[in-house]
């Protein structure tokens, strides 16, 4: 995902998800800003499985 293409609203919504829902990108398989292999979901996977970032 190229974050430079996102609007302020889209970025703020993702930050809100992280703060209020406990959702974050985790388990990076690569370093840097390549998020194709990052996951989005609750850190406690007992709630639901992690999904790839949209």
Q: Residue 54 in 3-state DSSP?
A: coil
What per-residue confidence (pLDDT) applies to 16? 79
Q: Residue 52 in 3-state DSSP?
A: strand
Q: Which residue in this structure is represented by tokens 């703060």?
A: 19
Number of other CB atoms surrounding residue 41 within 10 Å: 20
Give residues with Cβ within 8 angstroms of 3, minimum separation 6: 11, 33
pTM passes above 0.75: no
Q: How confident is the model at residue 47 (pLDDT cuts 50, 70, 90)?
A: low
More confident residue, 12 or 3: 12
């Amino acid at each position: 995902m190229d974050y430079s293409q996102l609007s302020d609203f889209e970025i703020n919504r993702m930050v809100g998800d992280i703060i209020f829902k406990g959702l974050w990108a985790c388990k990076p398989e690569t370093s840097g800003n390549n998020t194709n292999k990052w996951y989005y979901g609750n850190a406690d996977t007992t709630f639901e499985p992690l999904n790839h970032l949209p």
